[in-house]
């Protein structure tokens, strides 16, 4: 295989992939740290901030929407998700949360691990839901329950 005029054998091709994916991984980690630092500066009294949240979507938008990584923030009044690409903010007032659930899939998408699903009443008065994969699921459940109390 030729890349930039250089012929690569199997080992060379593997090395190219390792370098490319390694670079992407390093860039994502740096972005995550920057986004977390920004969130901590904007929400200094936040109960919990997670830079490794993976968004599975908003129920009312249907199954064809994009998943995305972002920063999940819990304040004393809101659950906020800041998706990195496209840059989008979702905000759920804690008083509108009806239930917390832990499904394995959401909108037909799964990573075969329990998700944080938040069922809430939206601004139009209808029931809606969002779900995320988070590293500390039980911690998030407990913190949200405490903040709602």
Please indicate, yes or no, if residue 8 is contained in any of the structural domains. Answer: no
Name 18's Cβ contacts closer than 8 Å, sequence gap at least 6. Answer: none
Residue 90 has pLDDT above 60, yes or no: yes
105 within domain boundaries: yes
Q: Is residue 20 part of a domain?
A: no
List pLDDT tens digits, range 18-46: 666 667 666 767 776 787 888 889 999 99
Tokens (6 digits) for 26? 């390093």
80 three-class SS: strand
Number of domains in the chain: 1
pTM of the model: 0.79
Burial (CB < 10 A; 0-12, 13-18, 19+), residue 131, is: buried
Omega within 30 of 0 (cis) for the link into 44: no
Contact 8, 2 (CB under 8 A): yes
Length reported for the chain: 149
Domain that holds residue 73: 44-148
Res 67: pLDDT:
87
pLDDT tens digit string along 54-75?
999 999 999 999 889 999 999 9
Residue 123 lies in a domain: yes
Q: State the CATH number of the domain containing residue 139.
A: 2.30.29.30
Residue 137 lies inside a defined structural domain of this protein: yes
């Amino acid at each position: 295989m030729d890349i930039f005029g250089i012929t690569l054998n199997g080992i060379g091709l593997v090395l190219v992939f390792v370098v490319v994916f390694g670079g992407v991984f390093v860039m994502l980690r740096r972005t995550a740290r920057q986004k977390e630092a920004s969130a901590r500066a904007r929400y200094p009294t936040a109960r919990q901030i997670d830079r490794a949240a993976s968004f599975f979507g908003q129920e009312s938008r249907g199954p064809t929407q994009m998943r995305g990584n972002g920063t999940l923030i819990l304040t004393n009044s809101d659950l906020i998700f800041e998706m990195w690409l496209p840059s989008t903010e979702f905000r759920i007032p804690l008083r509108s949360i009806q239930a917390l659930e832990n499904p394995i899939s959401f909108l037909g998408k799964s990573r075969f691990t329990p998700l944080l699903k938040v069922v809430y009443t939206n601004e139009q008065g209808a029931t809606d839901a969002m779900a995320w994969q988070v590293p500390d699921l039980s911690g998030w459940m407990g913190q949200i329950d405490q903040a709602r109390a």
